[in-house]
Amino acid sequence: MLKMFGLFTPPVSQLEKDFYDFLLAKDTPTPSAPRLLWGAAFAYQVLSYKIIDVQKINSNKFRFVVREQRRFYSSAWETKGEIPQNTSPIKTTNEEKTNIFEVVKSNGKWLIDKYYPQGWTQDTETTPLKYGGF
């Protein structure tokens, strides 16, 4: 999991640093695993990625538009109030999501500078553009 974040440029702003710590569960008293592995925090599975567009910003920066197929999991009791007999307690739904990867060349290596849903134009109060795709 930590290797994945090695594909990103380092967090710069305080918001990026705080959200990075949140993803790694460093804000918990006894962090055991990154939040991306916690089912309750990120209850989805990526089924596929498809690059649908590549835009060259300059020789050291590209923007990739990626369509992502995700399967979301939720408990039936959360959505219906009770679990009918002979059914799974887990409800699944599939969704498509379009994300943007902004990739920059830094010290001779290509790194993800930002990963966010298409349509985002700035950081929110709680989630920076850098990690918005999670």
Q: Across residues 115-133, what is the average pLDDT?
A: 82
Mean pLDDT, residues 63-67: 96
Average of per-residue pLDDT across 64-77: 79
Q: Domains in the chain: how many in total?
A: 1
Residue range 38-65: mean pLDDT, rounded: 85
Cα–Cα distance for residue pair 101/113, rounded to 1 Å = 8
Beta bridge partners of 98: 67
CATH of the domain at 80: 3.10.450
Q: How far apart are CA 61 and CA 40, in angstroms?
A: 35
Percent of the chain with pLDDT over 90: 37
pTM: 0.73
Domain residue limits at 95 = 2-131
- pLDDT interval class at 37 (50, 70, 90): low
- For residue 61, the Cα-to-chain-centroid distance in whole angstroms is 20
Q: 87-111, pLDDT tens digit by residue?
A: 566 677 888 989 999 999 999 999 9
